[in-house]
Chain A
């Protein structure tokens, strides 16, 4: 493997006195889908946010495409070709779907027309709801909007924080299919944080398991799915 697109090297993060991440190291190579699974409070979202520089890593190094981004301000990191779909979707509730999407394109400054066409092709539902207010969409549509909004900056690496949160299984499958589609057709690299471990690991090329702020297991999606520790802890042993 050549130099990874994203490398997180022995990073520690803390909220005040509470240590959230301890010496976490992960790598995401170009064209991969990497999944981060773990229980509530394990530090999954914190790791994603640390990559974005908010909160900032107390120790260690984060590099994107070979460039050290550990100390960069958040808004500059987000202009390098990363896009984040934040936890809980966070669409702009009073702005229309179109305005939400254009907000995503604003900072990168690419021509929004072809990107809009791409997002509407991926999620035709958003096209139908184009003039509707973000806050009036259903949960699934809001998730599509949040992903679409992130794609409007034409990212090379997409960070997804719990896209399945609070969604019906059918919608989750749609969202995951869209992520796979983006990865296979557009070559988009994806780092996915999920509690829905079974589907997320099936989707992923590789995965990491995070427990209490430490990486405890790593491997391909298939390997992790087969591990008894993973099955017992995250899959309820049911699959």
Chain B
């Protein structure tokens, strides 16, 4: 009886929800139609006689508009079923935190064991090196953007400085990689301070513009100072890394890595060595960041991000606080840059375009500004995902953009948005994501 009554009521209520949803979906379809007609519907091809021919592809447009309509409808249906989106509660934050303490060691163990996992070939290792390079860059930029709150759009400049520092020192003066590595870091840090001075008074949008310009200046100088940098031809013949003096060569002589350890020479040795090298460098960056966050300097960075005027009132030297953030962030980029140079054996200004800065910044923002593990996951997803979808060719960017939008819609404060206090009397409580910066520099 009561079941029948409920069934009778339900259809009567449904139109109240369904009609606006249908309208909404139709509107979405209309917008999609407006967009796809010029983008997809009309296409110019070179005709038989060499002139341009307008080709019409209404079928494709219909499919896309249909997809937009169905997608919107599905989304609305899902929302209706799920109810209003709940903000991340403290309980959920605590749960995520628990998961986080578990995820980090597992990821680390995976990273350490990767070269020995069966099925790992040269391709996987190369991809691992690439991902770890971006993890390191993300952690380095996190010091500037995530901790000190200084929006830096020209981070790749320091990466370039480090790469060219190693390339030039090694090719011109014949210095070894292990001497050049700290030198490249110091040089990049020096450039970080150099950038830091003129932008001390700038914040937010203005800072972003100046750092963006700085990144471009470095690239343009590298491109045009042909006598030193080789200009667009780049620097070739950069020495490959040695195992603390033992070169990786296929000859198997006693003076080589394989000969010294009495193993079969293999080109994979060098890749594995590079993999562990970048893993160690990335972990160093992580360790320094985590340590510094608990030190007065790191706390001053975070306070600076929160409120500059309050920092002044507390007697914090804003100048040194900002400059150290720029210098330290730049130093890690420089170290990563010299690793990049030794790995590639060839560098040119093409590797240091603005898109690199944008990707690194995206990793930091998507990961959740200030979160070490979030940045590592974001780098894995972004760089790894980019490789996984390589077969999609030109649609790869579409997937990439869509994924970024999805992450920002679902988790506006980044994958790991909570912030762990650096000090507490009793138990440490994570600070819920709802209190952490949302999609802003």
Contacts and interface: CB of A to CB of B under 8 A. Distances in A.
Interface of A: 52, 54, 73-79, 83-86, 90-96, 98-99, 102-104, 106-108, 130-131, 133, 135-136, 149-150, 153
B315 interface: yes
A95 B315 contact: no
A95 to B, nearest CB: 6
Given A98-B424, A136-B435, A78 B307 contact: no
29 contacts: A73-B317, A78-B312, A78-B313, A78-B314, A78-B315, A84-B313, A86-B313, A90-B307, A90-B313, A92-B307, A92-B310, A93-B307, A93-B435, A94-B437, A95-B303, A95-B421, A96-B421, A99-B421, A102-B423, A103-B299, A103-B316, A106-B299, A106-B314, A107-B316, A130-B424, A131-B421, A131-B424, A133-B431, A149-B314
Contacts of B435: 93-94, 133, 135-136
A98 B423 contact: yes
Interface in B267-316: 296, 299-300, 302-303, 306-307, 309-310, 312-316
B90 to A, nearest CB: 11
B290 to A, nearest CB: 16
A114 B431 CA distance: 27
B425 A98 contact: yes
Contacts of A133: 431, 435
Given A99-B299, A106-B296, 4 more contacts: A92-B306, A94-B419, A103-B299, A153-B314
- State which size class the interface on B falls in: 20 to 34
B197 to A, nearest CB: 16
A90 B316 CA distance: 15
Interface in B408-423: 419, 421-423
B429 interface: yes
Contacts, number: 99
Interface in B347-405: none
A107 B423 CA distance: 17
A75 B317 contact: yes
A99 B424 CA distance: 8
B436 interface: yes
A74 B421 contact: no
Contacts of A96: 421, 423-424, 431
Contacts of A106: 296, 299-300, 314, 316
Nearest to A161: B313
A131 B429 contact: yes
B51 interface: no
A155 to B, nearest CB: 10
B119 interface: no
B426 interface: yes
